[in-house]
Structure 1
Amino acid sequence: MCVMSRRIQVTFTDEQWKILKRLKGKMGESDADLIRNIVLAWLSEKSIMSTIVKREISEDKR
């Protein structure tokens, strides 16, 4: 299995970062972990991840 990773740069306002910093240690130790986990939690909450996985499983069965 090939694991690919991408590095992206994201900019937050000071006010946005103050809010995000409160989650540090709860949702991730590093800045990258924090933002990654927030994005994944949001995708999961919106059922986007499960929808994609279900679609891929359905396509694999064909």
Structure 2
Amino acid sequence: MKTILVSFPEGIFDTILSLKGEMGESKSEVVRNIVIAYLSEQGFFSKMRIRGIASKKGR
């Protein structure tokens, strides 16, 4: 697993703190789950899978 450092405005940070226990047990887990949920809702993972399948067929 890779790590990155991110900065948030105070209001966003307060929201992350309020989601502890609901979306994760730590601040980093909450942020990770928010990012994964957003990418999933945007269809990013299914697009990656489709691209991966297409590139494997081209071999």
Give the gaps of 5 or more residues in structure 1.
Answer: none
Query: 1:13 corresponds to which letter in structure 2?
Result: P
Provide, for residues 11-41 of structure 1, a one-character-per-residue CA deviation record: whole Å limited to 9, x for no partner.
1121111112221111111111111110000
TM-score (norm 1): 0.80
- Which structure is richer in relative contact order (CA contacts within 8 A, separation 6 or more)? 2
Among all aligned residue pairs of Structure 1 and Structure 2, give the percentage whose two residues are the same amino acid. Answer: 38
- In terms of fraction of residues, the more helix-rich structure is 2
Q: Is 1:24 the counterpart of 2:23 in the alignment?
A: no
TM-score, structure 2 normalization: 0.83
Over 2 Å off, 4+ runs: none
Give the gaps of 5 or more residues in structure 2: none
Residue in structure 2 matching 1:47, options 29, 43, 49:
43
Number of equivalent positions: 58
Q: Calculate the aligned-residue CA RMSD, in Å.
A: 1.2
